[in-house]
Structure 1
Amino acid sequence: MTPSFSPSARLYGAVAVAALFAAPAAAQTKPDVNEATEKAMKAASARVAPTVVKIETAGGAEVISGGPKKGPPVPGVRKGTGPTTGLIVSADGFVISSAFNFANKPTDIFVTIPGRPQRLVAKVVANDQTRMLTLLKVDAKDLPVPEAFPKKDVEVGQWGLSLGRTLEINVDQPPSVSVGIVSATNRIWGKALQTDAKTSPVNYGGPLVAIDGRVFGVIVPASNRAEGETAGVDVYDGGIGFAVPLEDVLAVLPRLKEGKELRRGLLGVSPQGADVYNAAPIVGAIQPDSAAARAGLVIGDKIIDINGKKIPNYSTLQHVLGPLYEGDEVSLKVSRGDKEMDFKGVKLLGIATAYVNAFLGVLPMRDDPGPGVEVRYVYPKSPAETAGIKPGDRIMKFGAPALAPVPNRQALITAIQVLNPGTEVKVELKRKEGGKVETVTAKLVPAPDEVPEKLPLPSSAGKALEGRPKPKDTKDPFPAKDPFPAKDPFPPKGGLSNVRAVRDDDEKKDEKKDKPKIETGLMTRTNAALGREYWVYVPDNYDPNVSHGLIVWFHPAKEGGKDGEKMMRTFRAFAEDHHFIVMGPKAGNNEGWVASETEIVVRDVKAVMGEFTIDKARVAAHGMGNGGQMAFYVGFNARDVFRGVAVLGATLGNPPKDNVANQPLSFFISAGDKDPLLKEIVESRDLLKEKRFPVLYREMKESGKEYFDLTTFTDFLNWLDSLDRI
């Protein structure tokens, strides 16, 4: 077998290999570098091949992590039927492999070892849930074990051979080989090496081998955004792959042999800022009963050192903690005010106690520069109503136990985010009637899974730009036409007439008098750098002094770019009355969305947020079918942008992440009672509830995979308009 070479592999390795295999000068005339390289790679592969086993499974779920049973396999993952790979790590029958190979919970596992023609029955012994590895045991002895390449000696640019067992029946034949280099170290929060050698489900669990035949690590799919057995599978053909250092695997092998499930060690803190990479390592939230809470850390502490390593930002914090396991102890140094404090022997926990959003029970008036927060709406039977807070009252101070001034809406939201349900708070009010100042007491409760039947208007004080320069006017306004056909299968059953009739053109012209000329209607935008299009609908009564919510529509498979007008007609009345903008990114593949498009979508979303006055507390991902799966994925993996996820007929593609105090997510899930995926959709709802997310679920009668019926649509609109509830 002649291995293939990547250009980068030639660039970094040719000279070294030539020197390694050069003949004495007297005998050397025309050295063939390629031939020497080929021999070296064959020798390295042959050295480790006896330890590379074939793994076959039977039974189990066809689809992993709740993916669709039909249609595009991403973000859900359809389990393949071919063999995969494992690596012997102990002479007495222990084999390590990627957890991805067993994510569908197979009923039977078989291992074939080179030199031993009979398939052996294997059983799962334990899992490493942070590095996504599974340890198997077969009844065999005196097995060959590979030599680990020391982590301290791994250098970027070294050759890397990715080995796997394919459909070749005879395992005594050489394994498949892909060639590249080690392109980075200390990736995936410090847990993996990176390579440009081809990695795929065929060689997940196989070795990444050095040119001398020692093993760098075990190949796994991995992602720094997602978690779980399938994290990173969607980008396996993206030009990079990952391997867990074999040295790390062998270090925890004794614990795995004992059947101990290894979980990631969690400190239990979230950053103060929304940026989970570059934010300063200031504690913005602490999970209840977490390692941080038990140690005595408080919100506002700045972590400056862990185990003697300086922590300049939150990304470094994740890199230092990423490789650690439940039960590992760390030493912390934090600054609190003008003091530095040391915390020794902080034992990391493996399961974070689910954060529960605390709820006062009010909706604020938006675009009110303050001081204080005017109450727009009070939820019935909420702590606010019980305390006597009324619409029109202004919250001037808030605190537990001491009162502190409330300058604006965001300050009040932040103050409540760090509190737990059951906390008793004081609220200083300036009453609407008479301006009298009173202080009331309320006990916070968990955020309810309900929405108001009707919300009052207006919702905005119209002062979003107060104190900020106004954007320049744009020329040639492009108002949307009114293409509302008599028949349209897409709007809610019963039409939108019961929500509000569409204004006629004369009314629209009157409303736009004396307002800045800003381009409105349905427009197409192009990402010049990527050549991808998206559409955006801006209501004709758009006013930059009024903040607008943003609905990001993820279209179903094969509908990319075709449903802009339908969505505009569906949301026009609501968008004008309640101040929302709607946009629709377009999937790169006609068969549907893939998770790797997340960063591109977020770039488009941020472009719209930069162009218009957007309320960051009311940005929602909305999708149907495959688009709904993408909405779930994007909501969890761009939590600095999204505050809500609304889906129809869609299941979670990956296990849900934890609820985070300063990046709250709310969910609106709907399904038809005749949808073939109804059971899986309900399971997705339950998984979110287990994580203590607010989830509103609606099941539509006599419905399959249609869009919202009128009742559900009305609830959905009220949910959108109350995303900024406090």
Structure 2
Amino acid sequence: MVWRALRPAFALWIWLAIGLAPLAAQPATEDTEDLLQKAMKAAVARVAPSVVQIETSGGSDILGSGPGMFRKGAGPTTGLVVAADGYVISSAFNFANKPSAIFIAVPGHKERHVAKVVSTDNTRMLTLLKIDAKGLPVPVAAPKKEFRVGQWSMALGRAWAGLDTPPSVTAGIVSALGRIWGKAIQTDAKVSPLNYGGPLVDLQGRVMGVLVPASPRGQDETAGVEWYDSGIGFAIPLEDINAVLPRLKEGQDLKKGLLGIYLKSTDIYSVAPEIASVGIDSAAAKAGIKAGDIIIELNGQAIVRQAQILHILGEKYEGDTVTVKVQRGKEELTFANVRLTGTLSAFIHAYFGVLPVRDDPELGEEIRYVFPKSPAEASGLKPGDRIMKVGLAGSPMQPFSGRDELTQLLDALQPGTELTLEIMRKGAKKPETVKVRLGVMSDEVPEDSLPEPATLKKALAPRKVAPRQGPPIQPGQPGPRPGRPQPGAPRAEEKKEQPKDEKKKAATGLLKRMTPARDHEYWLFVPEDYDPNIAHALLIWLHPAGKNKDKDTEAVLAAWEDLCSENHVIILCPRAESNAGWLGSEVDFVQQVARDVLAEYTIDRQRVIAHGLGIGGQMAYYLAFNARDLVRGAAPIGAALSNQPKDNAANQRLSFFIITGAKDPLAPAIQEGKAKLAEHKFPVVYRELAGSPQYLDAGTLQEMVRWLDSLDRQ
């Protein structure tokens, strides 16, 4: 193909704001270069009348906060005409600051037009605008079936170009299709906030899509803006926009279509999609889909991994229908015309009010602590009791393989469910049967030090596997399977026993390290009495701005040193590159070094938390919501929640310990964030300290340690 021969001859970023500059001589012929220049100029000229300039006034100057915070540019942005009678589409990013007025300048029109927002597509982050104009030029949409990876593409914008000159243009190729879970085209043409809302154009002058910031992690207007200037840009196919344009014109805000299932594993590429829980009043629940079902087909496409589900559902809107085929035990069941919803009731974790003794390889679970006024206390459960079997009231009870499997079973149940437990009292010779009605997950922190022992010190011992007995605990749920890893359990590579001669012991003390690429620095504190047979909690300390020096890290560790030894806690202290604080792009580095610690030491996956001050607290929030498979708690100090929290998830428990100062100017925003988290049914502890503390006082620090120690509550 011609583009393969030409690509080495051209820089991939080609600015065409004032016409294409002459290209350097390369092996390609001058005639071929001329042809490409002419084709690009003709393509731009064909689309240019439909590319409009958008200006706004009023609204906030700052978008987001913390690592994802940035200042919105004061200049114009870009839009694309999609209907002759005055409809213009643009990126929702351009209006994330909630401007009080919007103006649109159209090529060939002497005056700017006042625009109003008609509707927003919240799944593709597009906003439809309307101006009072007729006869606007509408571009031709390139058919999606003709898109090819490697074809030329041009990103157009009118941020700075006048209406009497061609739009600014950057050229590149289409580098991927079906990105952002099936919604977007990916291009390596340079895309920035200046041309968000502009078209991505092919060499025939047809519009392939509308440029937007996008990310597989985030869902708000600013998600993906951190990839600006990275060689990765995204566009929503215009063909898809035209398909929903009638609904947008009616003023209907479009929402993502939700099936309402929570999958057991966080591994989206190599694990079969088994359902952990089904949301109350969700599309799946109304159809009859149940916890334990394994999705084997969706809309006629065979499903073997979770990522396939995300791709298919990623394109769907509220009100769309899908056909789901599941395996339930030995049966295959088909659910046709399952109508997706746009919202879900917040997931609420069920709770009966105990803490388990950890690192116990035996069947069942020994109770370490019973929370006051909990369902467990009401049922007469006591510390030292061992839960041997569990089942729904009226159904046979089943044995289970320790804490993590019991937690998994509880995650599939709703508050109000009645369970029957077989327990063995300490010193008793015969088991007893008790009933307990599950309550709502508590945010209570034990008032006093928790009883010892917290651990049996057998984390590396082979775990006994409970035999499958009788029907499943949850209808439709296959029940425990021998040899199957359970959520929260250390992974196989994290449980390697030390050689018997112990020649190679884990490093302890204060360790200063670099990443393998030597591009980031971090500190690690491991208690000198570290025992690999004890699963330790992991605290990720995220320092505030201006506190990334050695002496700053040492000051925080001094407050924790004795507590780490007494409570089996390891502290990871990643270091931000900039003295100004954390960047959203550093999340990957923090996650990677945390996973390295998980592989090197015995870590309790249910007690991994992010803890930070100021912008470090913002990073703690960011990490908690963007590394759900890793982090189980966040403890921000003096930091406000910057975005709407993501939904609570059945198999990804997340708790918060929020601290602010009474005189902190951010206190109202911090309290507002706390309320949002509570609305989403996350357990939240909120503490307000006197003044504007730089760190925790002794009492609050001790309480936070007890909170960390109780994150594996059931």
Alignment correspondent of 1:59: 58
Give the corresponding residue for 1:513: none
Asked if 1:194 corresponds to 2:193, the answer is no
- Alpha-carbon separation, structure 2, partners of 1:630 and 1:278: 29
Deviation per CA, 1:180-224: give whole Å up to 9, x if none. 111000000000000001111101111011111100100000000
Match for 2:231: what amino acid? G
Over 3 Å counting, the alpha-carbon distance change for 1:143 and 1:441 in structure 2 is same
Counterpart position of 1:571: 560
Partner Cα distance (2:312, 2:505) in 1: 52
Residues of 2 paired with 1:591 and 1:708: CA distance? 22
Q: Which residue of 1 aligns with 2:172?
A: 180
Q: Which amino acid aligns with 1:697?
A: Y
Counterpart residue number, 2:45: 46
- State the 1:309 CA deviation: 1.0
**Match of residue 85 from structure 1:** 78
2:46 is paired with a residue whose SS is helix
Contact kept in structure 1, 2:276 and 2:411, CA below 8 Å: no
Tell me if structure 2 keeps the 8 A contact 1:534–1:561: no
Decide whether the 8 Å contact of 2:262 with 2:276 is kept in 1: yes
- Stretch moving more, 142-151 or 36-45: 36-45
Give the secondary structure class of the aligned counterpart of 1:332: strand
CA distance in 2: counterparts of 1:324 and 1:469, whole angstroms: 43
2:420 is paired with a residue of what secondary structure? strand
Q: C-alpha distance in 2, partners of 1:8/1:196? A: 15
Distance 1:665 1:583 in 2: 19
Aligned residue for 2:703? 715
Contact 1:623/1:646 (CA < 8 Å) preserved in 2? yes
In 2, Cα distance between equivalents of 1:320 and 1:438: 49
8 Å contact from structure 2 (residues 287, 338) kept in 1? yes
Aligned-residue offset at 1:8: 6.8
Q: What is the distance in 2 between the residues matched to 1:319 and 1:343?
A: 19
Mapped contact 1:163–1:209 kept (Cα < 8 A): yes
Q: Which amino acid letter does the alignment assign opposite residue 134 of structure 1?
A: T
Provide the identity percentage: 52
2:34 aligns with 35
Alignment of 1:140-219 (within 5 A): 140-168=133-161, 170-219=162-211
Question: Could you tell me how far apart the structure 1 residues matched to 2:536 and 2:140 are?
Answer: 60
- 2:298 and 2:9 map into 1 onto residues whose CA distance is 37
Residues 406-445 of structure 1 mapped to structure 2, 5 A cutoff: 406-445=400-439
TM-score, length of structure 2 as denominator length? 0.89
| SS of structure 2 residue aligned to 1:117 | coil
C-alpha displacement of 1:360: 0.8
1:461 aligns with 2:461: no
TM value normalised by structure 1: 0.88
Once the two structures are superposed, residues 3-29 of structure 1 have per-residue CA deviations (whole angstroms, 9 ceiling, x without a partner) of xx9967849999xxxxxxxxxxxxxx9
The question of whether the paired residues in 2 share the 8 Å contact of 1:365 and 1:460 is answered with: yes
Aligned length: 661
Pair 668,119 (structure 1): closer, same or farther in 2 beyond 3 Å: same
Deviations 1:552-578 (A, max 9, x none): 111112333533322321211111111
- Which of 445, 448, 451 aligns to 1:451? It is 445
Q: CA deviation at 1:545?
A: 0.8
**Residues of 1 paired with 2:125 and 2:426: CA distance?**
57
Asked if the contact 1:13/1:158 (under 8 Å) is kept, the reply is: no
Deviation string, structure 1 residues 377-435 (Cα, Å, up to 9, x no partner): 10000000000000111111112133211221111111111111111111211001434
Distance 1:647 1:139, change over 3 A: same
1:518 deviates by 3.8
Root-mean-square deviation over aligned CA pairs: 2.1
Q: Does the C-alpha gap of structure 1 residues 11 and 199 become closer, same or farther in structure 2, counting only changes over 3 Å? A: closer
The CA deviation at 1:596 is: 2.3
Structure 2 residue 306 is matched with structure 1 residue 307? no
1:526 and 2:525 aligned: no
CA gap of 1:720–1:219, structure 2 versus 1, over 3 A, is same
Post-superposition Cα deviations, 1:55-85, rounded to whole Å, max 9, x if no partner, equal 11111223224x15xxxxx313332221111
- For residues 416 and 242 of structure 1, the distance between their equivalents in structure 2, rounded to whole angstroms, comes to 40
CA displacement 1:614-668 (0-9 Å, x = unmatched): 1111100111111111111111111111111110111223321110001111111
Tell me: CA distance 1:257–1:474, structure 2 relative to 1, closer, same or farther (3 Å): farther
Residues 445-470 of structure 1, C-alpha deviations (whole Å, 9 max, x = no match): 11122200121222111111113752
Q: State the secondary structure of the residue aligned to 1:380.
A: coil
Once residues 567 and 416 of structure 1 are traced to their aligned partners in structure 2, the CA distance between those partners, rounded to angstroms, is 37
8 Å CA contact 1:277, 1:313 repeated in 2:
yes
Give the conservation status (yes or no) of the 8 Å contact 1:526–1:534.
yes
3-state secondary structure, aligned to 2:218 = coil
Paired position in structure 2 for 1:122: 115
Which range moved further: 311-320 or 556-565? 556-565
TM superposition shift of 1:102: 0.8
Establish whether residue 95 from structure 1 lines up as the match of residue 88 from structure 2.
yes
User: Secondary structure at 1:96's aligned position in 2?
Assistant: strand
**CA deviation after TM superposition for structure 1 residue 226, in Å:** 1.3
* 2:531 is the alignment partner of 1:539: no
Q: Which letter maps to 1:634?
A: L
More deviation in 421-430 or 215-224? 421-430
Aligned-residue offset at 1:39: 2.3
Alignment check: 8 A CA contact 2:605 2:630 kept: yes
Superposed, which structure 2 residues align to 1:248-647 within 5 Å? Answer: 248-401=240-393, 402=395, 403-454=397-448, 455-467=450-462, 470-472=497-499, 517-529=505-517, 531-562=519-550, 563-647=552-636
Deviation at 1:134, TM superposition (A): 0.4
1:542 Cα deviation from its structure 2 partner: 0.6
User: Secondary structure in 2 aligned to 1:118?
Assistant: coil
**Kindly tell me: are residues 198 and 38 of structure 1, through their superposed partners in 2, closer, same or farther at Cα, counting changes over 3 Å?**
same
Tell me whether 401-410 or 118-127 shows the greater mean CA deviation.
401-410
Mapped partners of 1:469, 1:723: distance in 2 = 25
Aligned to 2:231: 239
Q: The residue matched to 2:112 in structure 1 has which SS?
A: strand
Match of 2:98 in 1: 105
- Matched to 2:570, the amino acid is I
Task: Tell me, in whole angstroms, the C-alpha distance in 2 between the residues paired with 1:356 and 1:298.
Answer: 17
- 8 Å CA contact 2:12–2:172 kept in 1: the answer is no
* Distance change in 2, residues 1:147/1:609 (3 Å): same
Provide the secondary structure at the position in 2 that maps to 1:116. Answer: coil
Structure 2 matches for 1:681-696, cutoff 5 A?
Answer: 681-696=670-685
CA contact (8 A) 2:12 2:189 kept: no
The aligned counterpart of 1:655 is 644
What's the CA shift for 1:281?
A: 1.4
Would the aligned equivalents of 2:664 and 2:691 in 1 still touch at CA under 8 Å?
A: no
Q: Distance in 1 between matches of 2:536 and 2:496?
A: 18
* CA deviation vs aligned residue, 1:297-333 (integer Å, no higher than 9, x gap): 1111111111111112100010011101000011111
Determine if contact 2:12/2:171 at 8 Å carries over to the other structure.
no
Mark the runs of 5 or more structure 2 residues left unpaired by the alignment.
15-27, 463-494
- Which residue of the partner structure matches residue 478 of structure 2? none
